[in-house]
Amino acid sequence: MSDTHHSQSGPRGFETTAIHAGNTADPVTGAVVPPIYQVSTYKQDGVGGLRGGYEYSRSANPTRTALEENLAALEGGRRGLAFASGLAAEDCLLRTLLSPGDHVVIPNDAYGGTFRLFAKVVSRWGVEWSVADTSDVDSVRAALTPKTKVVWVETPSNPLLGITDIAAVAQVAREAGARLVVDNTFASPYLQQPLALGADVVVHSMTKYMGGHSDVVGGALVVGDDALGDDLAFHQNAMGAVAGPFDSWLVLRGIKTLPVRMDRHSENATRVADMLTRHPRVTKVLYPGLPEHPGHEIAAKQMKAFGGMISFQVEGGEEAAVEVCNRAQLFTLGESLGGVESLIEHPGRMTHASVAGSALEVPADLVRLSVGIESADDLLADLKQALEGK
């Protein structure tokens, strides 16, 4: 047996799995990382005689397979599927699970693009949706109807860092015959494993912490059920928004350092959140690691650490928030998150402009940080000068 994640002594630690799952040595050359199989089609030995099980790279590609096996192992699932973007993964999932007349419950705080997919695309096929505060189990229960097929949760949420009790909502969804989908992008499987808490499907924008270096766009689905895994794989091939070989390779490489990166993101974010809570120009800090955060206890129960995302509100309203973003220097002004470099943005005008006027509208004085893994002292100094305007 080659050096895969299989172990004779039982399950391996997360760090070992991150580095080895799916990463079998190349059978031809012995290369210790999977090559980028930049190929569309495969020679057949006689009609239908597939040598390595591959026939066409939309259906399957060896570099993507390596990533998909790795994703399944990291989330403790049975099947992983890699897509061209997080939204491509979400689209495939919704078109697999939903039919006209079905109903979904979506959170009152979520990535703006996810909301747009429900409100502007999925709704056009006759799928109905209601918004719930998923941090409150009773609010989820109240939003359910006999037609509810999916309950969608993002925890921590984007951009308000709300926390949902995954195990509690999983139970409510199960009792209603609905599937629980958890967008695990902010936490990553190193910090939180929703399938073990009762979720049916995990969604990732791999563009963020999984890739980790702001150099690739990708998405993933992971499920614990073989039949659902087969159904999703059918739709992935039928719809075709797959992750390409180079993008798959980049994400596989990023994942190898996911545990060390997430530890440092969490440490740096803890220091930044602490500084912000004491800063006179900051009126509110949203970080689940803070004891005063309403979801702190649940986050401490279901997450290994609190991650690298922080949002905060500033004195002086929208203009002041925009000025803070514009003055930051080491924190790069930009959308997205989860890379090694720190980013700052104004959700109301940038990532969440598409939810303006909806139940998901975000406060105008909100600033969102993706705290990177630079020296924490430099990050604190930059934020102080951005807040103080000196």
Nearer to ligand PLP, 24 or 207 (CB): 207
Q: Is 208 a catalytic residue?
A: yes
Minimum distance between the CB of residue 240 and ligand PLP, rounded to whole angstroms?
16
* Short-list 303, 383, 370, CA closest to 338: 370
Active-site pick, 208, 261, 264, 327 = 208
With binding defined as CB under 6 A, does residue 34 bind ligand PLP?
no
With binding defined as CB under 6 A, does residue 207 bind ligand PLP?
yes
With binding defined as CB under 6 A, does residue 192 bind ligand PLP?
no
Q: Is 124 a catalytic residue?
A: no
Total residues contacting ligand PLP by CB under 6 A comes to: 14
With binding defined as CB under 6 A, does residue 109 bind ligand PLP?
no
With binding defined as CB under 6 A, does residue 209 bind ligand PLP?
no
Q: How far is CA 102 from the centre of its chain?
A: 25
With binding defined as CB under 6 A, does residue 162 bind ligand PLP?
no
Residues whose CB is less than 8 angstroms from the CB of residue 293 and which lie 6 or more positions away in sequence, other chains included:
161, 163, 286, 287, 299
210-269 positions binding ligand PLP, by CB under 6 A: 217, 219
With binding defined as CB under 6 A, does residue 155 bind ligand PLP?
no
Q: Is 95 a catalytic residue?
A: no
With binding defined as CB under 6 A, does residue 143 bind ligand PLP?
no
In the list 113, 198, 316, 334, the residue contacting ligand PLP (rule: CB under 6 A) is: 113
Piece of the chain touching ligand PLP by CB under 6 A; list 111-119, 313-321, 323-331, 378-386: 111-119
Active-site pick, 12, 58, 141, 349 = 58
In the list 69, 102, 154, 382, the residue contacting ligand PLP (rule: CB under 6 A) is: 154
Piece of the chain touching ligand PLP by CB under 6 A; list 81-89, 140-148, 168-176, 241-249: 81-89
Nearer to ligand PLP, 34 or 307 (CB): 307
Which residues would be at the binding site for ligand PLP (CB under 6 A)?
85-87, 111, 113-114, 154, 158, 183, 185, 205, 207, 217, 219
| Residues with catalytic function | 58, 111, 183, 208
